C-alpha cells in the first residue's frame, strides 16, 4: 500500500505543526525513504490512528487548511491510508481541504439567531465579504444562543485565535475583518489565571490547542446565568461565585468533597448512591445513569473507558458550555468520581470545536488537577489512577451521538455504529465504555455531597433533582436557568420574560417538538405526555413576529447538512423533507404534506440513529399543532 497522494511534500510550517503534536519522526517509515527494517515499525505506528483528528487540527490551526502535502505527511506519520484520512478530513466542517484565508468568520444561521436578527447579520456580512466560502461561512448553532445573533472568528497561526461576537451587530464581525482592530463586544471580565505555575513537567497527556487566553473579550460566563448567585441553585451554584481558573478557590467553595466521599464509599457504594438518586442522563436519551455505571463496572474485560460528551451541538443548547466555562473543576472532579466508580483509568473529554473558552479553561483545570495530584497516579493516596485527555470536535453535530463519538476519537469518520453492542459492552476501542453528558456528570457531585435521598427529594418520582434549561429566542432574559423538575413551562417563562405575543415554544431543540401549552410540566414524563421531549433542555421561545416557515426550513436544512449519509432513510429523507418544505413555503399542496408524513415515518422507523429518527419531529408538531401550512 502506498501512503502517498502524489509525493507532495508538506511545507515547513505544516511539518512543524504535526511534529509539535507527534514529536519528530522516529523512523524513516514516518518521514523519509523506507527500508525493509522500517516495516517493523508499522505495526506500532498503527496504534496512533486515534491521533488523526488532533493532527488534522494541528495543521488546520496553524495554516488555516490542510493541503495534500500535509495530509500525506500525517498519513505517513500515523500509517493511515490516504483515502481514509481524506474521508475523515472531509467529514468535518471546521477543517478545510482547500486553501482559504487564515481568518474565517462563522456566522450562526441557526434557530435562536434567526429569531433575533441573524439573517440581517448574515446579509451584511455577505455584502462586505462576498459570497460564503471566502473568509466567512454560515454556521450551524454556535452554542451562543443567549447572545444571539452570534458569530465566531477562528484565525489560524502559530498561536491560533478565536473571537466571539455576541450579540453581533449587523456590521461588526465583518468590520473587524477590515480594520483588524480589537473586539470589544463586552467587558473584559474574564479573570486572570491565578493558580500559579501548574506543573514542572509536561502538563498535558493529550493534544492541546494553544489558543491564546488573552483573546477573551467575552462577557463572563455568569452573564449567561440570570439566576447567578441565588441560594437555591445546585448545579449552577458556583457560576459567577468561583474563580474558574483557581483550584484553590474551587476547593474553598466545596470542591473535591464529593470525590473524598466517593473514595470513602468505594466504587460499589458510589454506584448505589447514583442508582438510588434516580439520576437519568441529561444528554437527551434520559437513560438511568446508575444502571449504565453498574453495567460497565461489572464488565470483566479491561480497560474500561469514560467519555464525557461535551459536543453540545443541538441547536439552542448552551448549558454545558456555561458549566464548563464557569465551573470547569466541577467537571474534572465529576469525571474522576465516575471513573472511580466504573473502573476507568482513562477518560476522554470530547468538546465541540466551536467552544474555545471552555476548551482553554478545561485544559488549564486538567493540567492543574494533574499537577496537584488530583489526576494521574494514586489520587489522594487511594491507589486509584485516572487521567483525562481532552479531544476537540471539528464541526459535526452527529459526533455527539454516543457511538459516533467513539469513531471520531479513534480517527475514523464520525458515523454512528449499529447497536447492539451497546457502549457498556463494546465502546471506545472495543472496550466497555461509559458515555455521559456534562450536566449528567456534574449532578453526581450534589448526590455524593448530600446523599441520594436528599437529591431524590427534589423533583418528581420519575424526574429527580434539578434541570438546566437553555432559554433563547424572543425573551427579555435569555440564558441558562436551573429549576427543580416539576416546574412548568409557565414558571420558566415568567423568569425569562417573553417579548410580544407568544406563538409557540420549541422544546428539545431541532430534534424536539413545538408546544403551545404553558402549563406543560418540565419533567421527562410530563413532556412525554404532551407529545414532546425535554431533549437537551432547549426552550426556544417564538413570538408571532417570527417566520415559522423559515424556522422549519432551517431545521430541515440542518438535518440535511448534518446527516452522516450512512443510511438511506435519513440520507434521502432529510433531502426530500427540505425540498417539500421549500415548495410548501411558496404554495401549499396537500401532496407535499402527505409526502412529508410518509418520509417522516420512514426516517423515524428505519434510520440507524437518533438523528434520522427525530428529524421529522419538529416539522410534524408544527404542522399538527401550529397549523403552519393550513
Ligand atoms: C444526533 C445526536 C446528537 C447527540 N448529541 C449529543 C451531545 O451533543 N451531547 C450529549 O451529551 N449527548 C448527545 N446525544 C446523546 C448521546 O447519544 C448519549 O445518549 C448521551 O451522551 C449519553 O449521556 P447521558 O446518559 O449522560 O445523557 C446525541 C444523540 C444523537 C442521536
Ligand atoms: S440516521 Fe442519519 S445520521 Fe444516523 S447513521 Fe443514519 S444517515 Fe447517519
Mean pLDDT of 370-387: 97
Rg (CA), the chain: 24
- DSSP H or E segment with residue 53: helix 52-63
Which ligand is located closest to the Cα atom of residue 575? 2
Q: Which residues form the pocket of ligand 2, taking CB atoms under 6 Å from any ligand atom? A: 398, 416, 563-567, 570-571, 607-609, 611-612
pLDDT of residue 206: 35
pLDDT at 362 over 70: yes
Summarize pLDDT for 145-178 with one digit per residue, the tens.
999 999 999 999 999 999 999 888 755 665 554 4
Q: Which residues pair with 485 in a beta bridge?
A: 487
93 touches ligand 1 (CB under 6 Å):
no
Span of 182-186, 293-297, 341-345 with lowest mean pLDDT? 182-186
**Residue 508 CA, distance from chain mean position:** 15
Summarize pLDDT for 448-491 with one digit per residue, the tens.
999 999 999 999 999 999 999 999 999 999 999 999 999 999 99
Nearest CA to ligand 1 atom 22: 436
Torsion of CA 92, 93, 96, 101, to 10 degrees: -150
The yes or no reply on domain 103-165 and CATH 3.40.30.10 is yes
pLDDT of residue 168: 85
Which ligand is located closest to the Cα atom of residue 417? 2
Nearest CA to ligand 2 atom 6: 567
Half-sphere exposure of 51 (CA within 13 A, CB side): 23
Helix axes 590-606, 617-626, angle to 10 degrees: 140
Could you tell me which residue, 421 or 25, shows the higher pLDDT? 421
311 touches ligand 1 (CB under 6 Å):
yes
Beta strand pairing call for 387-392 and 344-351? parallel
The yes or no reply on domain 224-457 and CATH 3.40.50.11540 is yes
Mutate to test the pocket of ligand 1, among 296, 307, 309 (most ligand atoms within 8 A of CB): 309
pLDDT at 115 over 80: yes
Q: pLDDT-based confidence at 192, cuts 50/70/90?
A: very low
d(CA 540, CA 74): 42
- What share of the chain in percent tops pLDDT 90? 83
- DSSP H or E segment with residue 266: helix 257-277
Q: What cell was used for 249?
A: 478557590
Residue 403 CA, ligand 1 centroid: distance in Å: 9
Residue 180 CA, ligand 2 centroid: distance in Å: 41
Domain boundaries, the chain: 12-90, 103-165, 224-457, 466-543, 548-626
- Is 346 strand, coil or helix? strand
Alpha helices (runs of H) in 312-398, residue ranges in sequence order: 319-326, 328-342, 356-371
What is the CATH class of 548-626? mainly alpha
Mutate to test the pocket of ligand 2, among 563, 575, 614 (most ligand atoms within 8 A of CB): 563
DSSP output for 20-42: HHH-S-SSHHHHS---GGGHHHH
96 touches ligand 1 (CB under 6 Å):
no
Fold classification of 466-543 (topology level): Ubiquitin-like (UB roll) (3.10.20)
- Is 308 strand, coil or helix? strand
d(CA 398, CA 408): 10
Span of 196-210, 280-294, 330-344, 612-626 with lowest mean pLDDT? 196-210
404 CA closest ligand 2 atom index: 5
DSSP output for 559-602: HHHH--S-SHHHHHHHHHHHHHHHHHHHS--HHHHHHHHHHHHH
284 touches ligand 1 (CB under 6 Å):
yes
608 touches ligand 1 (CB under 6 Å):
no
- DSSP H or E segment with residue 489: helix 489-496
Q: Which residues pair with 521 in a beta bridge?
A: 488
564 CA closest ligand 2 atom index: 8
C-alpha separations of 93 from 102, 122, 207, 352, 459 in Å? 15, 18, 20, 12, 40
607 touches ligand 1 (CB under 6 Å):
no
Residue 482 CA, ligand 1 centroid: distance in Å: 20
Q: pLDDT-based confidence at 38, cuts 50/70/90?
A: low
C-alpha separations of 237 from 243, 446, 618 in Å? 12, 11, 33
pLDDT at 426 over 80: yes
pLDDT at 509 over 80: yes
Q: Which residues pair with 243 in a beta bridge?
A: none
Mutate to test the pocket of ligand 1, among 275, 280, 282, 285 (most ligand atoms within 8 A of CB): 285
| Torsion 307-310-314-317 (CA) sign | positive
Confirm if 559 and 580 have CB atoms less than 8 A apart: no
pLDDT of residue 6: 64
Summarize pLDDT for 220-279 with one digit per residue, the tens.
999 999 999 999 999 999 999 999 999 999 999 999 999 999 999 999 999 999 999 999
Residue 372 CA, ligand 1 centroid: distance in Å: 31
Summarize pLDDT for 69-112 with one digit per residue, the tens.
999 999 999 999 999 999 999 999 999 999 999 999 999 999 89
What letter does residue 540 receive in the DSSP assignment? E
Q: pLDDT-based confidence at 323, cuts 50/70/90?
A: very high
- Is 469 strand, coil or helix? strand
Amino acid at each position: 500500500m502506498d501512503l502517498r497522494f502524489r509525493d507532495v511534500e508538506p511545507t515547513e510550517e505544516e511539518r512543524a505543526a504535526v511534529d509539535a503534536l507527534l514529536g519528530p519522526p522516529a523512523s524513516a517509515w514516518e518521514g523519509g525513504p523506507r527500508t525493509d527494517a522500517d516495516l517493523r515499525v508499522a505495526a506500532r505506528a498503527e496504534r496512533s490512528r486515534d491521533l488523526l483528528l488532533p493532527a488534522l487540527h494541528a495543521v488546520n490551526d496553524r495554516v488555516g487548511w490542510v493541503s495534500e502535502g500535509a495530509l500525506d505527511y500525517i498519513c505517513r506519520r500515523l500509517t493511515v491510508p490516504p483515502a481514509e484520512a481524506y474521508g475523515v478530513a472531509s467529514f468535518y466542517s471546521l477543517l478545510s481541504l482547500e486553501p482559504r484565508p487564515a481568518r474565517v468568520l462563522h456566522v450562526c444561521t441557526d434557530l435562536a439567531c434567526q429569531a433575533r436578527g441573524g439573517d440581517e447579520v448574515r446579509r451584511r456580512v455577505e455584502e462586505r465579504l462576498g459570497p460564503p466560502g471566502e473568509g466567512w461561512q454560515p454556521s450551524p448553532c454556535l452554542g451562543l444562543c443567549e447572545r444571539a445573533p452570534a458569530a465566531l472568528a477562528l484565525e489560524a497561526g502559530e498561536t491560533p485565535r478565536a473571537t466571539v461576537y455576541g450579540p453581533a451587530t449587523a456590521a461588526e464581525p465583518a468590520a473587524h475583518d477590515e480594520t483588524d482592530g480589537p473586539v470589544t463586544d463586552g467587558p473584559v471580565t474574564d479573570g486572570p489565571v491565578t493558580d500559579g505555575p501548574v506543573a514542572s513537567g509536561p502538563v498535558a497527556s493529550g493534544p492541546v490547542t494553544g489558543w491564546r487566553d488573552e483573546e477573551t473579550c467575552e462577557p463572563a460566563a455568569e452573564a449567561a446565568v440570570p439566576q447567578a448567585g441565588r441560594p437555591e441553585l445546585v448545579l449552577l451554584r458556583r457560576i459567577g461565585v468561583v474563580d474558574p481558573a483557581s483550584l484553590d478557590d474551587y476547593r474553598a467553595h466545596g470542591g473535591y468533597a464529593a470525590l473524598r466521599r466517593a473514595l470513602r464509599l468505594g466504587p460499589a457504594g458510589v454506584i448505589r448512591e447514583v442508582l438510588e438518586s434516580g439520576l437519568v442522563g441529561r444528554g437527551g436519551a434520559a437513560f438511568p445513569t446508575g444502571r449504565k455505571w453498574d453495567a460497565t463496572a461489572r464488565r470483566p474485560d479491561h480497560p474500561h473507558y469514560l467519555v464525557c460528551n461535551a459536543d453540545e451541538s443541538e441547536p439552542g443548547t448552551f448549558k454545558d458550555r456555561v458549566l464548563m466555562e464557569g465551573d470547569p473543576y466541577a467537571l474534572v472532579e465529576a469525571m474522576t468520581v465516575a471513573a472511580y466508580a466504573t473502573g476507568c483509568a482513562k477518560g476522554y473529554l470530547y468538546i465541540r470545536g466551536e467552544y474555545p473558552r471552555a476548551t482553554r479553561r478545561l485544559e488549564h483545570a486538567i493540567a492543574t488537577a494533574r499537577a496537584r495530584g488530583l489526576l494521574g497516579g494514586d489520587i489522594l493516596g487511594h491507589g486509584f489512577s485516572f487521567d483525562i485527555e481532552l479531544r476537540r470536535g471539528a464541526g459535526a453535530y452527529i459526533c455527539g451521538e454516543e457511538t459516533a463519538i467513539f469513531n471520531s476519537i479513534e480517527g475514523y469518520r464520525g458515523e454512528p455504529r449499529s447497536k447492539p453492542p451497546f457502549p457498556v459492552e463494546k465502546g471506545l476501542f472495543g472496550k466497555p465504555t461509559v458515555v455521559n453528558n456534562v450536566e449528567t456528570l456534574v449532578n453526581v457531585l450534589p448526590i455524593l455531597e448530600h446523599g441520594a435521598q436528599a437529591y431524590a427529594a427534589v423533583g418528581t418520582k420519575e424526574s429527580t433533582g434539578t434541570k438546566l434549561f437553555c432559554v433563547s429566542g424572543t425573551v427579555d432574559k435569555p440564558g441558562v436557568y436551573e429549576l427543580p423538575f416539576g416546574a412548568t413551562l409557565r414558571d420558566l417563562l415568567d423568569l425569562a420574560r417573553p417579548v410580544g405575543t407568544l406563538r409557540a415554544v420549541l422544546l428539545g431543540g431541532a430534534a424536539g417538538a413545538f408546544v403551545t401549552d404553558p402549563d406543560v410540566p418540565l419533567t421527562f414524563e410530563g413532556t412525554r405526555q404532551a407529545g414532546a421531549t425535554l431533549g437537551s433542555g432547549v426552550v426556544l421561545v417564538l413570538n408571532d413576529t417570527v417566520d415559522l416557515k423559515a424556522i422549519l426550513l432551517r431545521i430541515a436544512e440542518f438535518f440535511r447538512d448534518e446527516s452522516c449519509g450512512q443510511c438511506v432513510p435519513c440520507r434521502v429523507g432529510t433531502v426530500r423533507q427540505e425540498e417539500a418544505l421549500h415548495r410548501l413555503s411558496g404554495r401549499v399542496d396537500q401532496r407535499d404534506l402527505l409526502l412529508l408524513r410518509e418520509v417522516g415515518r420512514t426516517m423515524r422507523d428505519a434510520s440507524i440513529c437518533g438523528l434520522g429518527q427525530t428529524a421529522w419531529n419538529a416539522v410534524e408538531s408544527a404542522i399538527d399543532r401550529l397549523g403552519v401550512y393550513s
